[in-house]
């Protein structure tokens, strides 16, 4: 049996016209090298997923896919977000690829880790994580918030692979398992470790974004973090319960204290304590309700079973079908 296997590299792109040339160049070089080393089939593909970009991203993908055999693309009907775009790409690519690698379009993830991932796959790993061995190129803010986030997730009992993002290789089997998780609120970093099978890690240095700016403004980062937490853990609900008991306990102590004061005939000047408790409790209640609201919102969006992405055009599948006919 030949150990040639078909590899697809899925690249989510949102307004990435500035980086596409370079990304295509570097990824193509890697794919060609792997083909010439007889590791992957000549039908292996790069799958750019256009996540509803407003710039020339799709026309460029379309152009490259005509120019280069290895380039293909999937166009989503609108912006579904990074995770949705990844899933769309994995869905198309895993139909007939033996392994799928996901990588960001901005070349922050070192493409030279790809051959290493392939080697791990050939050694039998079904999920290979790309793990950064430095985060120097991220801003201090991003670094600290990310670290805090991983710590907090760990505290909540959700075990993520530290310093690994959405740069990884998955075997076809692992992709199928991933796709069988039907949740709408996608947090792939949390789901992938749940797939199981044999895993491996490949270390790389994370670089600066090649061009353009981050498509993850603070607003999206916060949404991502909240999604991650509430999709995987009900510890926040339990914390509220604990907080509630604690506050009831404290107010009981206060009650006893003021009762004792009253018996001793001290004049109780109740205004400040009253105001403080009203405000403190009001705040606690609001926070609690908002946490519960997060979960109710999750249930709301899960029960609707809405599509997680909508493909407008799938050059990848068109190309593969064409190749299969030959
Ligand atoms: N991305 C996407 N849809 C979005 C936002 C981002 O497909 O709504 C893609 C983006 O094009 C890039 C990847 O997700 O390939 C990661 O985004 P970015 O590099 O901006 O995030 P950062 O590295 O700053 O966390
Ligand atoms: Mg980036």
Render pLDDT for 152-194 as a digit per residue (tens, 0 to 9).
888 887 788 878 889 999 999 999 999 988 887 778 888 898 8
Please report the ipTM that was assigned to this predicted complex.
0.95
**The model's pTM:** 0.78
Report yes or no: 142 and 165 within 8 Å, Cβ to Cβ: no
Buried-exposed string 269-305: b where 16+ CB fall within 10 A, e elsewhere? eeeeeeeeeeeeeeeeeeebeebeebeeebeeeeeee
Q: Is the pLDDT of residue 262 over 90?
A: no
Query: Which residue, judged by its Cα, is nearest atom 19 of ligand 1?
Result: 214
Give the number of the atom of ligand 1 that is nearest the alpha carbon of residue 11.
15
d(CA 156, CA 234): 8
**Predicted local confidence at residue 2, as pLDDT:** 57
Best residue among 9, 11, 12 to mutate for probing ligand 1, ranked by most atoms within 8 Å of CB: 12
Partner residues linked to 201 by β-bridges:
129
Q: Which ligand does the CA of 139 lie closest to?
A: 1
Ligand 1 lined by 16 (C-beta under 6 Å): yes
Report yes or no: 284 and 241 within 8 Å, Cβ to Cβ: no
**Predicted local confidence at residue 85, as pLDDT:** 95
pLDDT tens column, 14-50: 999 999 999 999 999 999 999 998 889 989 999 999 9
pLDDT tens column, 190-234: 889 888 899 999 999 888 777 778 877 788 888 888 888 877 777
**Predicted local confidence at residue 316, as pLDDT:** 92
pLDDT tens column, 93-123: 999 999 999 999 998 889 999 999 999 999 9
267 DSSP 8-state letter? P
With H, G, I as helix, E, B as strand and everything else as coil, classify residue 2: coil
Q: What is the mean pLDDT of residues 2-18?
A: 90
Within 8 A by CB and 6+ apart from 286, the residues are none
């Amino acid at each position: 049996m030949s150990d040639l296997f078909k590899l697809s590299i899925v690249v989510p792109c949102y307004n990435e016209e500035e980086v596409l040339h370079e990304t295509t160049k570097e990824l193509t070089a890697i794919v060609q090298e792997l083909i010439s080393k007889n590791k992957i089939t000549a039908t292996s593909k790069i799958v750019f997923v256009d996540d509803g970009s407003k710039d020339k991203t799709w026309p460029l993908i379309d152009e490259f896919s005509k120019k280069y055999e290895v380039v293909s693309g999937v166009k989503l009907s609108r912006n579904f977000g990074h995770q949705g775009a990844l899933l769309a790409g994995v869905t198309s690519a895993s139909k007939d690829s033996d392994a799928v690698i996901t990588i960001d379009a901005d070349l922050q993830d070192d493409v030279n880790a790809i051959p290493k991932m392939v080697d791990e796959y050939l050694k039998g790993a079904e999920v290979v994580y790309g793990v950064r061995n430095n985060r120097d190129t991220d801003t201090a803010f991003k670094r600290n918030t990310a670290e805090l986030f991983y710590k907090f997730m760990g505290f909540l009992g959700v075990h993520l692979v530290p310093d690994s993002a959405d740069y990884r290789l998955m075997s076809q089997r692992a992709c199928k398992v991933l796709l069988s998780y039907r949740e709408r609120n996608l947090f792939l970093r949390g789901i992938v470790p749940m797939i199981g099978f044999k895993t491996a890690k490949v270390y790389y240095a994370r670089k600066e974004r090649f061009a353009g700016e981050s498509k993850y403004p603070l607003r999206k980062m916060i949404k991502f973090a909240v999604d991650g937490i509430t999709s995987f853990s009900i510890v926040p609900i339990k914390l509220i319960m604990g907080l509630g008991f604690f506050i009831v306990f404290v107010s009981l102590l206060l009650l006893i204290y003021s009762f004792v004061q009253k018996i001793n005939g001290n004049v109780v000047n109740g205004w400040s304590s009253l105001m403080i408790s009203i405000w403190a409790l009001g705040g606690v209640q609001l926070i609690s309700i908002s946490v519960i609201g997060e979960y109710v919102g999750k249930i709301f969006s899960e029960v609707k079973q809405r599509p997680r992405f909508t493909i407008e055009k799938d050059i990848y599948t068109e190309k593969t079908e064409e190749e299969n006919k030959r």
